[in-house]
Amino acid sequence: MLDRFSAYRIMWIMVFFDLPTETKKDRKAHSLFRKRLIEDGFSMFQFSIYLRHCASRENADVHIKRVKTLLPEKGHVGIMCVTDKQFGCMELFYCKQTQGISTPYQQLELF
């Protein structure tokens, strides 16, 4: 049971993107991509970086596959998956002040 909640098994998906916004069509595609990420449970980490907590690599693979179906025609999108342990080692700074890592939410699993 404890292995199920291992910091090496729990995953975080990071989706980072740089999408064009010059035309009305581009802005609509950008907005739709963001909206669909949020609908799939992603939270904004920075303006073009969204995070999602996943209970396992298998669960992360499902969401990565879903993001790939949402990719807009133009722009650059990156998808990275890290373990909870790696995510917890991240150092964040704001105006040279160290900031604690705040997770967007705590995902509960019912069984």
Any domain includes 88: yes
If pLDDT is split at 50, 70 and 90, which confidence band does 69 have?
very high
Query: What is the spatial distance between Cα 72 and Cα 16, in angstroms, rounded to a whole number?
Result: 13
β strands within 1-111, DSSP E = 11-18, 43-46, 49-54, 76-83, 92-94, 97-99
Share of residues in the chain with pLDDT > 90 (%): 70
Residue 105 maps to a domain: no
Within-domain flag for 72: yes
Domain of residue 16, CATH code: 3.30.70.240
User: Looking at the predicted structure, is the pLDDT value of residue 111 above 50?
Assistant: no
- Return all residues near 5 (Cβ < 8 A) that are at least 6 apart: none
Domain that holds residue 63: 2-99
Residue 110 lies in a domain: no
Residue 106 counted as domain residue: no
More confident position, 92 or 80:
80
To the nearest whole percent, how much of the chain has pLDDT over 70?
86
Residue 80, pLDDT above cutoff 70: yes
Instruction: Give domain status of residue 111, yes or no.
Output: no
Counted domains in the chain? 1
Q: What pTM was estimated for this model as a whole?
A: 0.81
Is residue 104 assigned to a domain? Answer: no
Q: What is the pLDDT of residues 9-47, one digit of tens each?
A: 899 999 999 999 999 999 999 999 999 999 999 999 999
pLDDT of residue 110: 53
In a domain, 14, yes or no: yes
